[in-house]
Structure 1
């Protein structure tokens, strides 16, 4: 039976510095939508994906706060 190596990480992961974000703007139903592009073949893909995810979370939280303030 093959043995597996499991590494426990306590604390934040250091994914490195993400590259400069690239955006693509498209129109959908008359609205301008800004998409963040992540290159899967990039040497720092992990850092780029993490930065993109964090940007999405910031945007979603901001939208939720605006909805709560309107109520």
Structure 2
């Protein structure tokens, strides 16, 4: 029977530096939307996905702050 090695990691994982973001412009419901494109076969996929997620969180928080100021 083969034994498996389990490694516990304490703290954040280092994903490396993301590549330069690439965007695609599409029309949705009459509006122009800018989409960030991530290559799943890229060696920096993990870093690119993390950077994309962080950018989405920044945008959502900015929008929420704008809504709260209007209220």
TM over 0.5: yes
Match for residue 54 of structure 1?
54
Cα deviation, 1:12-59, whole Å, max 9, x if unaligned, reads 211000000000011111211110000000011100111011111111
Inter-partner Cα distance in structure 1 for 2:69 and 2:38 = 32
Structure 1 vs Structure 2 CA RMSD: 1.2
Inter-partner Cα distance in structure 2 for 1:60 and 1:3 = 45
Match for residue 65 of structure 1?
65
* CA positional deviation for 1:2: 4.7
For structure 2, the 5+ residue unaligned runs are none
Inter-partner Cα distance in structure 2 for 1:60 and 1:6 = 36
For structure 1, the 5+ residue unaligned runs are none
* CA positional deviation for 1:6: 2.2
